Amino acid sequence: MTQIAFSRPVSAQRLLLGCGVVAGPSYVTVAMAQALTREGFDLARHPWSYLANGDLGWIQTAKFVLTGLATIAAAVGLRHALAPGRAARWAPILVGVFGASMIGAAIFPADPAMGFPAGTPEGPGAVTLSGTLHMAVGGVGFLCMAAACHVVASRQAREGRGGSALHSRVTGTLFLGSFAGIAAGGGAAWTNLMFVAGIVAVWAWLSLVSLDLSREAA
């Protein structure tokens, strides 16, 4: 009876952390597949958020929602896996806000612009309330995820895991810098490509942290 009572919460915790393992790779795979196949999309010019526009925009919208829910589930898993300590309080909150921001990004899609979807005039285009809210909720989520990296890094450093702490800090800084670049870059190719790199890096970080904590739970 003791063994059964112990195995149930651990299994639930590993399931929640498993959501964190798969959330990023699935999001990046689906987004990249669309970026490489949808007419008129250019990785050097168009943020992935633009994929929510057009006839196939529902794919990206659904992916925002599913990935957001998986990220929130991972945040719940982090709450238990990181206990006790400050990281157990703040990291799950910050990661959870990032997940919620993705759902917000699905509710408020980005405005069509820069010639995408096909047939859209070149240039920044008209800014709607939806586009403004998309940037706002996304910005809050990005800032929280960058902060989560540094919160986890502090815990890793206290545990003597210098390499993991360095990886977390570099990821958080890169992600924050890539967001700042795309927010101020005016559509320059290097800012868009840097933003893609930042997104891939932060999703890889969440996968690795979730996987590591899941193994500890096992």
Q: For residue 165, is it within any domain?
A: yes
Q: Taking 80 as the threshold, does the pLDDT of residue 10 lie above it?
A: no
| Higher per-residue confidence, 118 vs 200 | 200
Q: Write down the pTM of the prediction.
A: 0.90
Q: For residue 3, is it within any domain?
A: no
The distance in angstroms from the start CA to the end CA of the chain is 18
Q: What is the model's pLDDT at position 72? A: 98
Q: For residue 24, is it within any domain?
A: yes
**Whole-number mean pLDDT of the chain?**
90
| pLDDT tens digits along 15-64 | 999 999 999 999 999 999 999 999 999 988 899 999 999 999 999 999 99
Q: Is the Cβ–Cβ distance between 71 and 84 less than 8 Å? A: no
| pLDDT tens digits along 99-148 | 999 999 999 999 998 889 888 888 777 889 999 999 999 999 999 999 99
Domains identified in the chain, total number: 1
Backbone conformation region of residue 79, classed left if phi is above 0, alpha if psi is from -120 to 50, else beta: alpha
Query: By residue range, what is the domain housing residue 127?
Result: 13-217
Q: What is the model's pLDDT at position 186? A: 60
Q: For residue 177, is it within any domain?
A: yes
pLDDT band at 7 (very low <50, low <70, confident <90, very high): very low
